[in-house]
Amino acid sequence: MTVFTFKQLIGGGWVDAIDQGTWQLINPATEETLGLLPFGNARDAEAGVDAAAAAFPAWASKTVYERADILHRAAQWVRGRIDELAVITTQECGKPLRESSAEWQTGANLLDWFAEEAKHSSGRVVPARRADRRLLVVHQPIGVVATITAWNFPVYNLARAWAAALAAGCTVVGRPSEYTPRSAMMYAQAFVEAGIPAGVVNVINGDPAAMGQVFLKDARVRKLHFTGSTRVGKLLMDGASQTVTRLSLELGGNAPVLIFPDVNVEVVAQQAVTAKLRNAGQVCIAPQRFFVHSRIAEEFIEHTARFAKEVTLGNGLEMSTDMGPMINATQRERLNTMVTTSAQNGAEVLTGGKRPDHLAHGYFYQPTVITGLTTAMPVYRDELFGPVMPIIPFGDVDEAIAQANSLEYGLAAYVQTNDLKTATHLYERLEFGMVAINDWLPSTPEMPFGGVKMSGMGRECGEEGLLEYQEVKAVYMGGI
């Protein structure tokens, strides 16, 4: 890959912030500076929307096949450089290289899938009640789409929105997290290399509040996609009411895991630790509250604590690393406070529960197993977003389901059982947008991704994800 200067992409050009603001990007594994990047404000967001609005008519008028060719070429560009791209992502967000590589591969897969799915979004002909009338349902691109995405998956979070929006014929203005902007810039470079017209894809980096207000107040922005906290999601809903801007909100999660005694306990414990510690637990769909049947709870806890102790912490660029750092000191201290407060109120920390002594630099936190919980404790009640595993024994299935459903979150839930009747009973009663049975990764381009309750609205991926970026128009033709 040629040397790339990380800047904003607005109207087809790589530019500095209009007011010359900068952001010092930090490697969370070393606390070293990765460089100074442009850090803009409302003026940059306005420029991005101007560019996207100007480019929209021509992009929307292209055939779905022309748009698909560009998306496919962008996917090929990504696949040809995954090793180099993964290094960029690992440096800025901390996850191990294998996880960054998988994320970039998913970013390419989303482009290919939506390029083809858009070809099948053909609307329909509806039989009319009169012989001289024809009824059509037509799908058309919604317009300019703005995205505000989180740092935990700097490629995937924006890719699932951009791929669908671009395939549908929309133009985009993306504001990635200031902690991981380079990944978004490189994903945008894939489209530039693929020959996408200027202004169709724009990337800005800067003040989230100021840029978000531009997106909400400009009537040309027809949809806003957001991944982040429930608190900010509510604020965006309030703002969107002024212009009736369509929203997709992928918000917080607190995923329950119900584990039944008919499983191989040691195998499931190993899988649980691996799933929980992916990206240091900084995953919206991360398994969090582990409800384990009382018949196997002691054995599960023993295996889990052992596997957690064996995890190797370190720089994600090192092949021996199992788990990298958290994104910053603020997130680590928040997590540590939750664990400490819970322990002070009677919870038992079996392993972990603090910074590792052997790593002097970086925002690391030990894999932590904690038991003896009550529903009022922070590690049970609040989203952890870190490498902590709360384990709660249960005896009655219906009681466990009630506990799983008791919180405001409804993004993902997990079930481990070999009994089909039990599995069916649970996936029908769990109040979550996604339920994984004997599976730890409820995410693929072909399936809808999203939550219920306070975990958000709308769906990304799947055919539902494409419809999120289309207007449905009814056409009536008389006098035929």
Q: Is the dihedral of CA 416, 420, 426, 432 positive or negative?
A: positive
Catalytic option among 46, 250, 460, 468? 250
Q: What is the 3-state secondary structure (H, E, C) of the chain?
A: CCCCCCCEEECCEEECCCCCCEEEEECCCCCCEEEEEECECHHHHHHHHHHHHHHHHHHHHCCHHHHHHHHHHHHHHHHCCHHHHHHHHHHHHCCCHHHHHHHHHHHHHHHHHHHHHHHHCCCEEECCCCCCCEEEEEEEECCEEEEECCCCCCCHHHHHHHHHHHHHCCEEEEECCCCCHHHHHHHHHHHHHHCCCCCCEEECCECHHHHHHHHHHCCCEEEEEEECCHHHHHHHHHHHHHHCCEEEEECCCCEEEEECCCCCHHHHHHHHHHHHCHHHHCCCCCEEEEEEECCCHHHHHHHHHHHHHCCCECCCCCCCCCECCCCCHHHHHHHHHHHHHHHHCCCEEEECCCCCCCCCCCCCCCCEEEECCCCCCHHHHCCCCCCEEEEEEECCHHHHHHHHHCCCCCCEEEEECCCHHHHHHHHHHCCCCEEEECCCCCCCCCCCECCCHHHEECCECHHHHHHCCEEEEEEEECCC
Residues 6+ apart with CB under 8 A from 234: none
Catalytic option among 46, 92, 99, 284? 284
Nearest partner of 108 among 81, 68, 74, 84, judged by Cα: 74
Whether 170 sits among the annotated catalytic residues: the reply is no
Tokens of 283: 């995953």
Q: Are 19 and 13 in contact (CB under 8 A)?
A: no
Please identify every residue annotated as catalytic.
250, 284
